[in-house]
Amino acid sequence: MRNCMWFRSDLRVEDNTALAEACRSATDGVVGVFVVCADQWRGHDYAPARVDLILRTLAELSERLAGLNIPLRVVEAARAGDVAGLVAKEAAACGCGAVFANAEYEVDETARDAAAARECAAAGLGFHLRHDQTAIEPATIRTGEGRFFSVFSPFRKAWLRRGAEEGGVSLRPAPGKQKPISIERTAVPARVKGFESRVPAEVWPGGERHALSRLRTFAKEGLEGYKVERDYPGRAGTSRISPYLTVGAVSTRQCVHAALSAAGLEAKGLDVKGHERMPAGPGHWVSEVVWREFFTHVLVGWPRVCMGRAFQIHTERLRWSENEEHFRAWCEGRTGVPIVDAGMRELLATGWMHNRVRMITAMFLTKNLFIDWRRGERFFMRNLVDGFLASNNGGWQWSASTGTDAAPYFRIFNPISQSEKFDPEGSYIRRWVEELRDVEGPAVHQPHDERKGLPGMLRMKIEYPEPIVDLSASRERAIAAFQALRA
């Protein structure tokens, strides 16, 4: 039988569950299919930088697959609703008997796959969905009472216990050469209309090879110091692997394995005790990767988070500010709070933002400006090269105190103290906020402050805005609004 592998957010050859199975069970070759659907990408707020990385990664994938005699067919769907039928049609036209794909867990994607199963059945094709996006299938990790976890720490323990089980996080075999077939691969488009990226391609080189080499380099050079370095946005202390996880050029299993092997524990595998024995750097990094798994687990357990609903439903009674000028200033990085503006400008220039600054900017929007977290979530998604619904929603609802395991509403980051603590020399701010490049010393954290900022004359000279909001009064306003929910 000839099989069809439908690629989506799993653009790699190695450690790919559905591809490995499609190849293992095929007797008459394998065909790859990828659907370009601008309508679906627009509906899901894909950022141009993300689409650009997808296309460049796809181009490399097509080459690698050709080397395995697997032609990649890139087809275009005009509407999101056409995707499922188009895949079944393409698979049938290529003489396939079954379609294989790795599951995606968001509500629309789940509905699309149910439609694909129906379309395939109607065309006389098998349809096989495999679990691959997370190292461990999200719905299979449960509390003792069989419920989904809504708190991270016990989830992490349960995840580690599952990881230790037979085959828990083991890597899938890379496919070998397939039987040559007379189907041509099609060209991968270099761009898709409406998704012209302003982020230069060299910021995020495309492809599985680059993703794996980035992972290896980080495992060798960055993991050891990760626990300390990870919080400083001015240093290269994190892996920056997230865009490659989002497009699936690398898998979470490969990340876990890289950490285990850096700690010399690959042969021993992973369990709660093994994780405790890991050195601080790799151990902490694995925990961060598990956060990604946790948020996917939450999305599967409470699908309403995919549909703009708060995890903590009572917080939907909050009456958010509708100050458009404030929202625009935040989006454009001109709030007058340097660390916030640096983060937003990093996002606009590179499609990525450091985790610490994602938390600071998200808390500033939702607490100090008191603007609805959904607006920030959407703006991030529309600009992030690593936009991933589960983590983006999880991060936003954490920051807004509306989510699982969220920051308590009264613990509001002070962006200035955060800036002084995590960008002590101000190098991150100076890098992204041009107007402050020549400001020396700690004044860079709040240049307009009468006590800690620049001397009067210099303050007048810089073309950097004064803060658009009073940090302490706005903090009190947010706390009062959350307290009123309890009345």
Residues that bind ligand FAD (CB under 6 A): 230, 238-242, 245-246, 288-289, 291-292, 295, 355, 358-359, 362, 380, 384, 386-388, 391-392, 394-396, 399
Q: Which is nearer to ligand FAD, 129 or 365 (CB)?
A: 365
Least separation in angstroms between residue 59's CB and ligand FAD is: 23
Could you give the CA distance from residue 269 to residue 262 in angstroms, rounded to a whole number? 12
Query: Contact 83/40 with Cβ under 8 angstroms?
Result: yes
Query: Contact 366/373 with Cβ under 8 angstroms?
Result: yes
Could you give the CA distance from residue 411 to residue 226 in angstroms, rounded to a whole number? 25
Could you give the CA distance from residue 391 to residue 293 in angstroms, rounded to a whole number? 9
Least separation in angstroms between residue 87's CB and ligand FAD is: 26
The verdict on whether 355 is a catalytic residue reads: yes
Least separation in angstroms between residue 279's CB and ligand FAD is: 16
Query: Could you tell me which residues are beta bridge partners of residue 100?
Result: 5, 128
Q: Which is nearer to ligand FAD, 158 or 183 (CB)?
A: 158
Which residue has the CB atom at the shortest distance from ligand FAD? 395
Residue 468: both structure tokens together: 């658009």
Least separation in angstroms between residue 70's CB and ligand FAD is: 28
Could you give the CA distance from residue 316 to residue 483 in angstroms, rounded to a whole number? 14
Helical (H) or strand (E) element with 238:
none
Quote the DSSP letter at residue 332: H
How many other CB atoms are found less than 10 A from the CB of residue 73? 20
Contacts of 243 (CB under 8 A, 6+ apart): 50, 53, 204, 351, 352, 385, 386
Could you give the CA distance from residue 165 to residue 458 in angstroms, rounded to a whole number? 63
The verdict on whether 291 is a catalytic residue reads: yes
Q: Which is nearer to ligand FAD, 311 or 464 (CB)?
A: 311
Q: Output Rg (C-alpha) for the chain, integer angstroms.
A: 24
Least separation in angstroms between residue 106's CB and ligand FAD is: 13
Q: Which is nearer to ligand FAD, 232 or 388 (CB)?
A: 388
Closest C-alpha among 127, 40, 123 to residue 76: 40
Q: Give the HSE-up count for residue 331: Cα atoms under 13 Å, Cβ half-sphere.
A: 17
Query: Contact 24/117 with Cβ under 8 angstroms?
Result: no
Least separation in angstroms between residue 358's CB and ligand FAD is: 4
Burial label, 124 (beta-carbon count in 10 A; 0-12, 13-18, 19+): exposed
Least separation in angstroms between residue 268's CB and ligand FAD is: 22
Could you give the CA distance from residue 459 to residue 481 in angstroms, rounded to a whole number? 34
Q: Which is nearer to ligand FAD, 186 or 242 (CB)?
A: 242
Q: Which is nearer to ligand FAD, 409 or 464 (CB)?
A: 409
Q: Which is nearer to ligand FAD, 9 or 186 (CB)?
A: 9
Amino acid at 397: Q
Number of H helices, E strands in the chain: 21, 5
The verdict on whether 288 is a catalytic residue reads: yes
Query: Contact 365/373 with Cβ under 8 angstroms?
Result: yes
Residue 422: both structure tokens together: 């995590």
Closest C-alpha among 101, 11, 19 to residue 62: 11
Least separation in angstroms between residue 375's CB and ligand FAD is: 12
Q: Which of 302, 320, 414, 435 is catalytic?
A: 320
Task: Put the strands of the sheet holding 126-130 in their side by side order.
Answer: 72-76, 30-36, 3-7, 98-102, 126-130
Q: Which of 6, 396, 398, 432 is catalytic?
A: 396
Q: Which is nearer to ligand FAD, 26 or 353 (CB)?
A: 353
Q: Which is nearer to ligand FAD, 100 or 428 (CB)?
A: 428
The verdict on whether 166 is a catalytic residue reads: no
Catalytic residues: 288, 291, 320, 355, 373, 396
